Amino acid sequence: MKIVVIGGTGLIGSKLVNKLSQQGHEAIAAAPNTGVNTLTGEGLAEVLKNASVVVDVSKAPSWGDAEVLNFFETSTRNLLTNEAAAKVGHHVALSVVGTDRLSESGYFRAKIAQEKLIKESSIPYSIVHATQFFEFLKGLADISMADNKVHLPHVLFQPMAADDVATGVAKVAVGSPVKGTVEIAGPEEFRLDDLVRRRLAALKDPREVVADPNALYSGAKISERTLLPGKNARLGETRFETWLTQPAAQIPSAPQPAGVAAGKDSRQKAG
């Protein structure tokens, strides 16, 4: 099958393109630096010719509420219009576990708007909700600073390795459209502050991590189970301690962090 991966040069997208290619598919990485821009529509009609599946794992390059909303609404509309013209049979999008519970956050309102457009379109679809990536734990610390300490809520979450995210999305992409949402998650539950503390210790980063009940997640107040997947989530194999021994864990910072905002005025965003 010809499978176009929008955001195919990013963290998840590049792994996804590799996995689909290894399975014998014609997987195309589509992103601004390969000549495809979903915001402007540049290169879209061309790349979608004869495509069976489109997987959208793109991310807005900026974080302001209005910019992110504009990114996901405009790019999704452009994609769906061009997919209908090209008779694409399956639209797959990557989103975040708990999105519908996080509407207090501007970032998640944009993801909700993206999902609504997909659900209302004529293209058969599958939405994949993933939990937080191990790769972003240090990024979480970086954007959760207040008074020189990392402030995070002591809530449960079930993060996963980016490689397992790509595996989960690849499985959905080559299957039939589910016309609904599939959840994918890591194999273990942790407390957000505890795991970030362990990640920083592994990096020999001396910052103190404080369990702060007032720390926000992407601008939203969250409770004990907001970030957890449901019982039918498909679980990745990679345990946190195993991931720590892998080359990916030796890279201290990711290009853009997923976020928990410390304090009510923080503008940092998750996902």
Ligand X SMILES: NC(=O)c1ccc[n+]([C@@H]2O[C@H](COP(=O)([O-])OP(=O)(O)OC[C@H]3O[C@@H](n4cnc5c(N)ncnc54)[C@H](OP(=O)(O)O)[C@@H]3O)[C@@H](O)[C@H]2O)c1
Q: Is there binding between residue 228 and ligand X (CB under 6 A)?
A: no
Q: Is there binding between residue 94 and ligand X (CB under 6 A)?
A: yes
Assigned token pair, 101: 């519970």
Closest to ligand X by CB, 52 vs 78, is: 78
Q: Is there binding between residue 61 and ligand X (CB under 6 A)?
A: yes
- With CB under 6 A as the contact rule, the residue among 27, 47, 48, 57 that binds ligand X is 57
Residue nearest to ligand X (CB): 10
Q: Is there binding between residue 217 and ligand X (CB under 6 A)?
A: no
The region of 37-45, 116-124, 169-177, 190-198 touching ligand X under the rule CB under 6 A is: 37-45
Q: Is there binding between residue 59 and ligand X (CB under 6 A)?
A: yes
Length of the chain: 271
CA atoms of 9 and 33, how far apart (whole Å): 8
Q: Is there binding between residue 127 and ligand X (CB under 6 A)?
A: no
Provide, rounded to whole angstroms, the least separation between the CB of residue 17 and ligand X: 10
Q: Is there binding between residue 76 and ligand X (CB under 6 A)?
A: no
CA atoms of 29 and 51, how far apart (whole Å): 12
List residues binding ligand X (CB under 6 A).
6-7, 9-13, 31-33, 36-39, 57-59, 61, 75, 94, 96, 130, 132-133, 136, 255-256, 258, 271
